[in-house]
């Protein structure tokens, strides 16, 4: 309610939240980063504020490590840090440290067991955690007058095309977009906001030791810090399934599904603030109604695309 729209999803997994970028399409961090000031965790939001590019990267590495217990399901795992590196030192998501654009890579990171309603499908975000660092990195040095190329960055969805792409999207939070409350035409009590995400139990403790360039191979839905931008780690789309391990080399698209460790179903918070338990055998049409805030109705106004300052 503070901004009249739901939190934006951020840019991609390659970016941490930036305290100098406020709220809106210019904020690279994800929805969890955006809500920290409203959970009495503003110190997390402010880490690195006003610092040079390289100084900020040090502080955003510290941001990655901050655990907020409310984002962990005690049935699945306690609110402890998970590995950010493999035993031989490779970054869990992609191997190389430079896969993370605006932060140094720490040894551990905080993760979430919950994901926001991303609608009926994932929006494209490109490869290697796009955009490149020069989107925000000063072109004149570590602390130059030029703040980078934004908005002329190599986003997978071009800046000029984003409003049009978002018109065809019916979720709550997505890549560089967030819905207004007035756009929940099906009713807040009928629309999903945040729910538990499916995981393979073998990854509960954050194993990250596969050979090659992707140490977290097979665990694409839980291999980043919870504050990072739009990703499988913090956004989900498809109907829930109970946590289960898949054979080596298979993943069952678990990284796109809601789900939980509970035998009875998942806990799903709706946009009116209520919480329901949703059975795993829910009809796919009914689930689609929960995920889509406007069903077959046309959108009467464009999705929010405003740039707002950081909270004071």
Residues of the chain with pLDDT under 70: 1, 126-127, 141-146, 296-312
Q: What is the DSSP string of the chain?
A: --SSBPPP--S-TT----TTS-BSTT--S-HHHHHGGGGT-HHHHHTTTT--HHHHHHHHHHHHH---GGGS-TTT--S--EESB-TTS-BTTTBSGGGSSSS---SEE---SEEEE--SSPPP--STTSS-GGGTS-TTSTT-S---STTSS--SS-GGGHHHHHHT--SSEETTEE-BGGG-TT-GGGSEEEEEB---GGGTT-----SSS-TTTT-TTSSS-TTSSSSTTTEE-EEEEE--PPPTT--TTGGGEEEES-SS-EEEEETTS-EEEE-TT--HHHHHHHH-SSTTSPPSSPPB---BPPP-
| Model pLDDT for residues 99-134, shown as the tens digit of each residue | 999 999 999 999 999 999 999 888 877 667 889 999
Give pLDDT, residue 141: 65
Which pLDDT belongs to residue 297? Answer: 45
pTM: 0.91
Task: Give the model's pLDDT for residue 227.
Answer: 98
């Amino acid at each position: 309610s503070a901004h009249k729209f739901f939190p934006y999803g951020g840019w991609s997994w390659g970016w941490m939240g930036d305290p100098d970028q406020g709220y809106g399409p210019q904020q690279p961090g994800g929805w969890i980063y955006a809500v920290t000031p409203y959970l009495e965790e503003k110190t997390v939001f402010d880490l690195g504020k006003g610092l040079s590019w390289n100084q900020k990267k040090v502080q955003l590495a510290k941001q990655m490590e901050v655990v907020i217990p409310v984002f962990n399901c005690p049935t699945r795992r306690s609110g402890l840090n998970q590995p950010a590196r493999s035993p031989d030192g490779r970054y869990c998501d992609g191997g190389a440290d430079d896969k993370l654009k605006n932060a140094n890579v720490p040894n551990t990171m905080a993760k979430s067991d919950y994901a926001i309603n991303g609608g009926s499908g994932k929006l494209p975000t490109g490869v290697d955690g796009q955009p490149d660092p020069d989107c925000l990195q000063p072109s004149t040095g570590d602390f130059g007058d030029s703040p980078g190329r934004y908005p002329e960055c190599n986003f997978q969805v071009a800046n000029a095309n984003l409003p049009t792409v978002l018109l065809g999207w019916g979720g709550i939070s997505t890549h560089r977009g967030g819905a207004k409350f007035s756009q929940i035409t099906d009713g807040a009590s009928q629309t999903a906001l945040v729910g538990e995400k499916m995981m393979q139990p073998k990854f509960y403790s954050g194993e990250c030791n596969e050979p090659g360039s992707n140490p977290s191979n097979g665990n694409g839905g839980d291999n980043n810090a919870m504050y990072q931008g739009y990703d499988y780690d913090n956004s989900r789309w498809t109907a829930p399934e109970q946590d289960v391990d898949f054979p080596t080399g298979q993943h069952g698209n678990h990284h796109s599904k809601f789900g939980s460790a509970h035998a009875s179903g998942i806990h799903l918070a709706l946009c009116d603030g209520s919480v329901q338990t949703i059975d795993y055998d829910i009809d796919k049409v009914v689930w689609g109604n929960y995920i889509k805030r406007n069903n077959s109705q046309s959108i009467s106004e464009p999705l929010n695309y405003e740039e707002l300052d950081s909270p004071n």
